[in-house]
Structures are given as C-alpha cells and as structure tokens.
Amino acid sequence: MFHSKITVTLRTSILDPQGKAVEHGIHSLGMTNIEHVRIGKFIEFDVNTEAKEEAERVTMEACRKLLANPVMEDFTFTLEKIQKPVHA
Amino acid sequence: MFHSKITVTLRTSILDPQGKAVEHGIHSLGMTNIEHVRIGKFIEFDVNTEAKEEAERVTMEACRKLLANPVMEDFTFTLEKIQKPVHA
C-alpha cells in the first residue's frame, strides 16, 4: 500500500484573488513581511497496491482526469510506502 | 528571503465529506484502488527576512492566527532560502 500526497497549485501566470485576500488579512494582523501569497489544494489518499509504478500511474491519472485543471494548474506528488492506511 | 510552503489538513477524527465526494468521483473514473481520500489546503508565500528563525516564527503565527483552525485542523510547513520571489 502506498500513501500519495498531492499538491495542486495555480500556474504563476494565473491571478490568485484568494491569495490576495489572504495576504491582506495577514498584513492586517501585523505580519507585513509576508508577500506573494498563493493558495492551492492538497489531496492525500492511499493506493491499494504493492507496486510503486502502479501507485505512481494511478496517482498521475487521478490528477490528470479529476484533481487538477491542466489549463490553469500544476501538480506535484510524493509517494510513501505504508503498512496500514493513514486515515482509515 | 524565505519561501514557506504550508499544508493544512483536517484532523483524522474529523469527517471529510469533500474527500468522500472526490473519492466517489475517482472510483467512477475506474481508479478503484484509491482509498481514504482527504482534502486539505496548500498555502505558499515569501517571507522578506534573512533570519530563518524570524521566517519560522512569522509562518507559525500566520498558521495559528489565520490559516488553520486549531480545533479541526493540523498544519505543517517547510522553509526554503530563496534569492528572489517565487511568484512575483
């Protein structure tokens, strides 16, 4: 069994109004040295297989078909071999 | 200057209906070996300081005060020293 952790981020060229709003909030709270806030998505799941290639393939397929919008977003992921489900 | 990457996740004991919906979608697309989908948030920003301790302190403060709900969520972050802004 493998545990996949996926990060989906907006491409740099795409404006991020949500990030701007959060940045404004952060500045209002006094943390004025924080800049260029960007908001993305984080998704994690277990893949029930013993083959790392299969876990990689299935994670990539989920990202391409459902989790990320290829026009506006990029994704990266990490895979970790686990003995039992992380969030069962 | 430092670049912070933050992951905010729902605690394991908290139900994640969004994750359940995504899991259902993933299964409908034929990836039936994916299980226990959980959705979180990903936030990244630059901290304009040369001191790693200050970057760490300010990132922690932003998480505690604004980005994560301490009752329902956990957060982790990484810091990376950078020469120029990642998303300027």
Interface test with A, best of B10, B24, B26 (most A CBs within 10 A): B26
- Close Cβ partners of A1 (under 8 Å, ≥ 6 residues apart): A46, A47, A48, A49, A50, A81, A82, A83, A84, A85
Q: Would you call B63 an interface residue with chain A, using a CB distance cutoff of 8 Å? A: no
Q: Would you call A60 an interface residue with chain B, using a CB distance cutoff of 8 Å? A: no
Check residue A88 and give its pLDDT. 72
Output the CATH code of domain B2-42+51-81: 3.30.1280.10
Distance CA B3, CA B67 (A): 16
Of B23, B36, B43, the CB nearest to A37: B43
pTM: 0.93
Q: Can you point out the beta strands (E) in A1-88?
A: 2-10, 34-47, 73-81
- What is the per-residue pLDDT across B35-76, written as a single tens digit (0 to 9) for each? 999 999 999 999 999 999 999 999 999 999 999 999 999 999
How many A-B residue pairs are in contact by the CB < 8 A criterion?
119
CATH architecture type of domain A2-81: 2-Layer Sandwich (3.30)
Q: Would you call B37 an interface residue with chain A, using a CB distance cutoff of 8 Å? A: yes
What is the residue extent of each domain of chain A? 2-81
Check residue A29 and give its pLDDT. 96
Q: Would you call B41 an interface residue with chain A, using a CB distance cutoff of 8 Å? A: yes
Distance CA A6, CA A59 (A): 8
